[in-house]
A and B are shown apart, each in its own frame.
Chain A
Amino acid sequence: MKKIGTIIRKEWAEVFKNRMVIFTVAFLPLLMTALPLVIIYSTRGSASADSLNSQISSEMITAMCPSGLSGAECFQVFMISEFMMLFLIVPVAIPVTIAAYSIVGEKTTRSLEPLLATPITTVELLVGKCLAAVIPAVLATYAAFGIFALGSWLIVANKMLLTALLDARWLIAIFIVGPLLAIMAVAFSLMVSSRVNDPRVAEQISMVIIVPVLAGFFGQVAGLFVVNRQVITVTAMIMLALDVLLVFLTTRVFQRESILTRWK
Chain B
Amino acid sequence: MILTENITKQFGSVLAVDSLSLDVREGEVFGFLGPNGAGKTTTVRMLTSLIGPTSGTATVNGLVLGKQDTEIRRTVGVLTETPGMYDNLPAEYNLRIFAELYEVKDVRGQVEKYLRMLGLWERRFDSAGTFSKGMKQKLAIARALLHEPRILFLDEPTAGLDPEAAHLVREFIAELKKEGRTIFLCTHNLDEADRLCDRVAVFKTHLLVLDTPSNLRASIFGRKVVFHLAAVDEAMLAAVRALSFVREVKIVENKLLVTLEDPETYNPEVIRTLVKAGAEIQFVGELRHSLEEVYLQLVRSA
Distance between A46 CB and nearest chain B CB, rounded to angstroms: 50
A109→B84 contact, CB < 8 A: yes
A121 at the A/B interface (Cβ < 8 Å)?
yes
Q: Which A residues are in CB contact (< 8 Å) with B80?
A: 110, 113-114, 117
Question: Cβ of A200: which chain B residues have Cβ within 8 Å of it?
Answer: none
Q: B223 on the interface (CB 8 Å rule)?
A: no
Contact check, A119 vs B87: say whether CB atoms are below 8 A apart: no
Given contacts A2-B103, A111-B86, 19 further A-B contacts (CB under 8 A): A3-B101, A6-B100, A10-B86, A10-B97, A14-B89, A17-B88, A17-B89, A18-B88, A109-B84, A111-B84, A113-B84, A114-B78, A114-B80, A114-B140, A117-B48, A118-B98, A119-B71, A257-B50, A260-B51
Query: Which residues of chain A come closer than 8 Å to B140, judged between CB atoms?
Result: 114
B102 adjacent to A119 (CB under 8 Å): yes
Task: Name 10 A/B residue pairs within 8 A (Cβ), A-sorted.
Answer: A3-B100, A10-B97, A18-B88, A111-B85, A113-B80, A114-B84, A117-B78, A119-B71, A119-B103, A261-B45
3 A-B pairs closest in CB distance: A110-B84, A118-B101, A119-B74
Instruction: State in angstroms the CA–CA spacing of A149 and B71 once bound together.
Output: 51
B219 proximal to A (CB < 8 A): no
**B74-92, CB < 8 A from A:** 74, 78, 80, 82-89
Q: Within 8 Å of chain B (Cβ to Cβ): is A13?
A: yes
Q: Quick one: which of A10, A14, A17, A110 has the most chain B CB within 10 A?
A: A10
Q: Is the C-beta of A112 less than 8 angstroms from some C-beta in chain B?
A: yes
Q: Flag if B73 contacts A260 (CB, 8 Å).
A: no
Given the contacts A17-B88, A261-B11, A261-B51, A110 and B98 also touching, CB distance less than 8 Å: no
Contacts of A211 in B (CB 8 A): none
What 0/1 readout, one digit per residue, does chain A (208-252) give for beta carbons within 8 Å of chain B?
Answer: 000000000000000000000000000000000000000000000
Report the minimal beta-carbon distance from B106 to chain A, rounded to whole angstroms.
15
- Interface 0/1 of A75-118, CB less than 8 Å to B: 00000000000000000000000000000000001111111111
Chain A 1-23, CB within 8 Å of chain B: the 1/0 string? Answer: 01100100110011001100000
Interface check A168, CB cutoff 8 A? no
- What residues of A have a CB within 8 angstroms of the CB of B98 in the complex? 114, 118
- Give the residue of B51, B52, B89, B101 whose beta carbon is less than 8 angstroms from that of A6: B101
Interface of A (DSSP majority class): helix
- Cβ B82 vs Cβ A6 within 8 A: no
Chain B contacts for A120, CB-based, 8 A: 101
Tell me if B181 counts as interface (CB < 8 A to partner A): no
Distance, CA A113 to CA B41, complexed state (A) = 12
Interface residues in B252-275 by Cβ distance below 8 A to A read none
Q: Is B215 an interface residue (CB 8 A)?
A: no
Tell whether A13 pairs with B89 under 8 Å between CB atoms, given A6-B100, A114-B140, A119-B103.
yes
Query: In the bound complex, how far is the Cα of B44 from the Cα of A261, in angstroms?
Result: 13
Q: Which residues of B contact A10 (CB under 8 A)?
A: 86, 89, 97
CB of A15, distance to nearest CB on chain B (Å): 9
Q: Is B84 a contact of A119 with CB atoms below 8 Å?
A: no
0/1 string, B45-86, CB within 8 A of A gives 1: 100101110000000000000000011011000101011111
- Assembled-state Cα–Cα distance A120/B102 (Å): 8
Do B70 and A121 touch (CB < 8 A)?
yes
B100 and A257 within 8 A (CB): no
* CB nearest to A9 among chain B residues: B97
Tell me if B93 is interfacial: C-beta within 8 Å of chain A.
Answer: yes
B188 contacts which chain A residues (CB < 8 A)?
none
Q: Which residue of B lies closest to A6 (CB)?
A: B100
> In chain B, what residue has the closest Cβ to A106?
B84
Given contacts A114-B78, A118-B98, A119-B102, A109 and B73 within 8 Å (CB-CB): no
| Interfacial chain B residues near A118, Cβ < 8 Å | 73, 98, 101-102
Q: Given the complex of chains A and B, what is the CA–CA distance between A256 and B69 in angstroms?
A: 12
- B50, A256: Cβ atoms under 8 Å? yes
Report Cα–Cα, A114/B83, bound state, in Å.
8
Q: Is the CB of A260 within 8 A of B50?
A: yes
* A264 to B289 CA separation, bound complex (whole angstroms): 37
Q: Which of B11, B73, B83, B97 has the most CB of A within 10 A?
A: B97
Shortest Cβ distance from residue B150 to the other chain A in the assembled complex, whole angstroms: 15
Looking at A6, A109, A119, the one whose CB has the most chain B CB atoms below 10 A away is: A119
Asked if residues B73 and A119 are in contact (CB atoms below 8 Å), the reply is yes
Mask for A171-210, Cβ within 8 A of B = 1, else 0?
0000000000000000000000000000000000000000
A105 to chain B: closest CB distance in Å?
10
Q: Is B138 an interface residue (CB 8 A)?
A: no
User: What's the nearest-Cβ distance from chain B to residue A113, in Å?
Assistant: 5
Q: How far is the CB of B140 from chain A (nearest CB, A)?
A: 7
Q: Is the CB of B52 within 8 A of A117?
A: no
